[in-house]
Structures are given as C-alpha cells and as structure tokens.
A and B are shown apart, each in its own frame.
Chain A
Amino acid sequence: MRFILYFILSLTLLWSKEPILPLEMIPYDEQKAQLGKELFSDPILSQDNTVSCATCHLLNSGGDNDIVFSFGIKGQMGSMNTPTVFNSALNFKQFWDGRAKDLVDQAHQVIENPAEMGDNIYDIVKRLRKDKHYPKKFHDIYQEEISKEYLIEVLVEFERSLVTLDAPFDLYLKGDKNAIAQEAKRGYELFKSKGCVLCHNGRNIGGNLFNRFGIHEVNNQSKSLGRYEVTKKEEDKYVFKVPSLRNIELTAPYMHDGRATTLEDAVKIMTDYQLGREMKQEDINAIVEFLKSLTGKLPKIIR
C-alpha cells in the first residue's frame, strides 16, 4: 500500500515538473569578472578605438541596444539585431546562426569581424601590454603577461556573471504564487498549450534549439539566410537559433532583423510564422503579460 502511495507521489512530482526552470547563478571568478567588466566598456579592443562591447550591449538597457542593426567601427551597419549579453552563457551556441560554439569563440569572432570591432587579437594584446594599467591588473590575476587567452577569459568570465536572477516568473516557479499577476499565469498556460514552449523552454526559455524562421509562412522576407551561411545545407536556409525570452521586455526590437518593435507584434509574428495558427487578441495580451514577467534583476556585478 505504502509502495503504491510512494509510486503515485513520485509520479505526480514528475508531472509537476515545469518545462521552464528558474535561473541559478553560474559560479565565476570575481576578480577576473571585474577586469572583464572594465574591458567590456573599453574601446581599446576595437581597431580605431571607437567601439567597445558595451557600444552594442548596453548593460543598463537589457544587454542589447534599441536599434534594429548596430554600428561597428567606421560607422558600418551590421546585418543582424544585437542579441542580449545577459544569460548568454546559457545559450547552447552563440550568434543568431550559431556559428560560435561558446562565448570564447564568440568573443574572438566579434573582435576580429571587420564590420564589428575589426581588429586582430594579437594587435589588441600588444596594445594592452603597452597600456598604463591593464598589464598590472592581468599580472595580479595570472602572474603573467597579457595573452589572448587571458584577455578572452576575463571577458567571458564577466559574461558568465551576467545572469539575471529572480524574475517574477522565476519566483513564481519557486513557489511564490503571488509573484505574477493572474493574466501572466493565464499567459503561461497559453504559452504551454499553444506550442510556444516546444521551442522556448529550459532555464533560458530558448537559446537551446535551431529552427526555421517562417515554418508556416515561407514568404518570410528575411535577407539573412541564417544557418545556411555556416553549413551551406539547403535545409538550413532561414534557420536561426531560437533566442532566449528572458528580459524580453527590455530587448526590443525583436527577431533576427529587428522587424518587430513591440512585444505584441513579436507574438503575432511568431503565432503566424512559427505556430501557424490564429490567436485571439486577449490571448496574445496574456502571453505578452507572461513575457513581461520574465525580466530579472540586474546582475550584481553591474548594479
């Protein structure tokens, strides 16, 4: 009898598992992260000293910027909407087309991209070694001269510290039933029952899957071919990384090309293109309410 009781109990526990998990802190080295934070906002990392990481990833504005495409060195305009740096350590791949397998790879590519920071990492290392205060800071951590590995490591360590904890929805998941409004709760139920959760799930509510943009709307008018640029496989045309929905309220405009300016537009495009279904306005509003509950606290390191 008791066995059956336990069995049923464990089954209910299994069933009660939500497809979205609250964020947890990633362990990081404070000293390295602090140095990374400094470099993150220093244009010394770009070829002509005009652009820093923080030029596009505004730390007080959701970890991205409010424009459709960002500008690199010499005023060059990018071709993709800047993704947020917040919680990026949790993404399974980096960039919209997933061409970087991790943050180390990502930092390398941005620094060396001629349209972004346009520099050679060895030149940056040379420049940093001649700088007034960086050599000492690196030496304090590594007891060695600045190297490209150390430079990337401190930047990545900073990015790892950018986890936005305690979003109202996370608190709700942790048991605080009043952390989010009734409408947001209804939005979450719709999010699960209408199929959104099939792509946006896990701790980062996305960022762990590729899928085609425009599953039900082939005429998606995307200039970027997405993952096709990396793999050159026909089936990868218009395939992008499913982005995280955390802090989405702060990261407008939306989509890889920034085509949606409001959350409502974004949800509409998604239901149309991805889910291939009609949704009532009140349901869309509820989902938007749910999405707004995903905004976490600013990471401690930049507070």
Chain B
Amino acid sequence: MHGISVNHKKIDLFFLLILFFIVMLVFLVIYVNKTNRDIKDYTVYHKEIKNLAILHLKLENTFLKKYRYIDYDALQDINHEFQTILKFLDNEKFLYKFDKNLKDKIALLHSAYEQKESLVEEFKATNARLTNSIHYLYDLHQSIEELTISIDEKRLFLNIFFQIEQLLMDMPNDLTHLQADVAKINQIKQNNKLYDYFYQHTTLFIQDIEILKNILETNERLDLYSTIKNISYGLEQYSTKMHERQYTTFLYFIIFGFLNLVFLVFNYKKIHKLAQDFFTFKYVIEKSENIIIITDKNRKIGYVNKTFENKLGYNKKEVIGQQDSLVASDLMSQQTYEDINETLLRGQKWEGELISRKKDGSFIYEKTSIVPITDKGKVQGYLFIKFDRTEYSTKSRV
C-alpha cells in the first residue's frame, strides 16, 4: 500500500437537491409576481367592461324617454365617460393579453358605440321636435277653443287630440285614422293662421312619430350590448384558464417540493449513518495506543489524538495548525528528514524510527509510519502513526 485514497464525488446529491429547491423557489416567486400582475390587469379591465355595461344601460334608458324632457348634459357626461373607458380599453398593453380576438372585438365595440351614439342623437333631435309640437298643440288648442267654431269642427279637433293622447300613452294606434282627420283640417283651414299652424304641427308630429318608431326599431338591432357581453365572456374564459393554470402550477410545485423533501430525508439518513461511522472511527483513533497525527498536504497539523497529548505533553489546541517539525529533535540526522521528505513527495509511505521532543524537552523514541492521503493521485494530507518505543530503545541502549 502506497497511500490512503479518498474518493470525493464532484457534486453531491445534497447540494443538487438544495439547488433544485432554490431554483423552484425563484421560479415560484417570479410566477407569483407575474400572476399577481395578470390578476390586477384582468381585474381592472374587467371592471371597466362592467362599467361599460352599466353605461350602456344608462344610454339605453334615453330611449324610454320619448315625449319627455331629456337632460342632455347628463347624457353628454355618460357619453364622455363611455369614450374615456373605450380609450382605456383600446390599449396595446391589454389587447393581446386576454383574448387573441380582443383587438377585433374592441374595434367592433367602437363601431357599435358610434352607431348607438348617433342613434341617441337622432332620438334626442326627434324627441325635441315632438315635445315642442306637443307644447304648441296644447297652446293652440286653447286659442282655437276661444274661436267661435262649429260643433263639427270642435269635434274634429277633440278627436285629433284624443288620438294624440293615445299615442302619448303608447297605445297601439293606427296612424291612418289620425292622418285622415288631419287632412280634413287642411281642407277647412282657409286663411286661418291658427288652423294652418295646427295642421303643420300635427303633420310633423305624425312624421316624427314614424321617425321615432324607426329609431327605436333600429336600436333593437344594434349590438352594442352583445359586443360588450362577448368581450366580457372572453375575459371570463381567460380568467378561468388563468386559475386552472395557477392551480396546476401550484400542484406541480407541491409534488416536486414533496419529492425533494423525501430525497433530502434519505440523504440525511445516509449522512447520519456516515457521521455515526465517523464517530466510531474517531473514538477508535482517540483511544488507540498509537500516537496519531493527521496533517494537510503542507504537513500542517490538523488533528492529533489523545495519546499524542499524553505522550508528548502538548495540548491539542497548541499544536493544531503547527508544522509537523514542531516535535522534531536534533537527535535525528538531517539525512533522515530529507529521506522522509523525498519518499513522501514521491507519494510513498515512509517507515522507520524517529526520536521526537516532548514539550518538556525530553525525548521520545517512536516507530513511525507516514502515509500520504491521496485523492485521484493528488496528495491531500498525511497520516502519521507512531508507536512509543522509548522503553525498549533506552533499555536496549542500556
């Protein structure tokens, strides 16, 4: 035997497992961060879509206000809010995030809104004309009542008013009857200006009612709401997918984390056994009759056993880190030390007798073997095993 060979694995399993765990943790932190951002974006976007749905309802309410006074300013504010949200939604940052068709859907939303907006404007204008006509017809009615007119004419006016009231009450009404009655006014108006105005307003009133009816029918066909709902649906699908992805990712993390833990436990058990073996060996070495010294490759002392302390009178602490020549004595020839050095440098074991000096200055005769400890052919340190032969040596000399 030339020396003790130790075999260190380059990367041990423990290190690998810890590394894997750290990588997983880093990944998790990044993932949680990203998910958090996604959720935030989604929440904001979805909230705005919800707001659009509400604003749409408010716009829609306008169409219920026929023949009524409409607060244009309030409507203007609603439109302004709607446009602001539309601008927010049409943001490159989001357009490719939630739904691959989102860009097209938002474009659809834009055009659907424009149609709705212009229809609302038509409704407002027509309604303003209608309400004005109603205003004036009531005014005229009073003035005409004051005129001395025949019973037939009075009945005709009353009839027209009754039909207009029915229209205002939204009763299903055939306009032809009203049109016929209004035509009669045209015949009897002669040069009476009031009759002329009455005829003008009722004719326009009937026209505008038709226009209003068309506007309301067109409104039924507009798909602003379905567009909003469609976008909302796409978003909700994204959200469901996002949650599923999160769930899967966390599940994987838990599985891998658990496996990692199992490996670490096995690893620990192995190391624990090694440690126990080590303690047994250490115990044996400590209690050995031989003096044992372990040095590093520069022959600086790294370990001495109890017997060393007893025989040489040094304390462990005093010698750790010292050169092995600490105990060398001038009783040995220079030649011996050089021989030792040469042998060891060749990586070979040296055996022989040495005389060392104790702490108190007295000498000790030792049968010594010095073994290089190598790892893959490279010297890592030296093991000194010495046996105290002082008694024999002095006896034989005597």
Contact = CB atoms under 8 A, between A and B. Distances in A.
A211 B129 contact: yes
Contact of B118 (A92, A212, A231): A231
A215 B125 CA distance: 11
Given A195-B135, A212-B125, A201 B204 contact: no
Interface in A176-226: 193-195, 198-199, 201-204, 208-212, 215-216
B174 interface: no
B200 A195 contact: no
Given A19-B69, A215-B204, A216-B204, A276 B135 contact: no
B72 interface: yes
Interface in B99-124: 118, 121-122, 124
A284 interface: no
Interface string A227-246: 00001000100010000000
B204 A194 contact: no
A209 B197 contact: no
Given A203-B73, A276-B197, A278-B193, A198 B204 contact: no
Nearest to A202: B73
A195 B121 contact: no
Chain A interface size range:
20 to 34
A66 to B, nearest CB: 29
B205 to A, nearest CB: 11
A198 B128 contact: yes
Interface of chain B, helix or strand or loop or mixed?
Answer: helix
Interface in B78-98: 79, 83
A198 B79 contact: no
Nearest to B130: A198
A194 B132 CA distance: 8
B128 A276 contact: no
B266 interface: no
A216 B197 CA distance: 9
Interface string A13-32: 00000010100000000000
A254 to B, nearest CB: 19
A275 B129 contact: no
Given A201-B72, A216-B204, A209 B136 contact: no
B374 to A, nearest CB: 70
Contact of A275 (B72, B136, B193, B211): B136
B135 A21 contact: no
B288 interface: no
Nearest to A196: B132
A35 to B, nearest CB: 25
Contacts of B211: 235
Contacts of B83: 101
B201 interface: yes
A127 interface: no
Given A210-B125, A231-B118, A276-B197, A21 B204 contact: no
B131 A198 contact: yes
Given A210-B121, A239-B125, A278-B197, A194 B135 contact: yes
B197 A277 contact: yes
A198 B139 CA distance: 16
Contacts of A239: 125
B46 to A, nearest CB: 27
Contacts of B200: 216, 276
A72 B207 CA distance: 41
A190 B131 CA distance: 16
Contact of B128 (A211, A216, A231): A211
Contacts of A278: 193, 197
Given A195-B135, A211-B125, A212-B125, A276 B201 contact: yes
A264 B309 CA distance: 126
Interface in A255-303: 274-278
A142 to B, nearest CB: 21
A277 B128 contact: no
Most chain-B Cβ atoms within 10 A of its Cβ — which of A101, A231, A235, A277? A277
A276 B136 contact: yes
B90 to A, nearest CB: 15
Contacts of B132: 195, 198-199, 215, 274-276
Most chain-A Cβ atoms within 10 A of its Cβ — which of B71, B73, B128? B128
A276 B193 CA distance: 11
A77 to B, nearest CB: 30
Contacts of B125: 209-212, 239
B76 interface: yes
Nearest to B121: A210
B200 to A, nearest CB: 6
Contact of B72 (A92, A195, A212, A216): A92
Interface string A137-161: 0000000000000000000000000
Nearest to B140: A277
Contacts of A215: 129, 132, 204
Contacts of B133: 276
5 contacts: A195-B132, A208-B73, A209-B121, A215-B132, A239-B125
Interface of A: 19, 21, 92, 101, 193-195, 198-199, 201-204, 208-212, 215-216, 231, 235, 239, 274-278
Given A208-B76, A275-B132, 13 more contacts: A21-B73, A92-B79, A195-B132, A198-B128, A198-B132, A199-B132, A202-B71, A208-B73, A211-B129, A215-B129, A215-B204, A276-B197, A277-B136
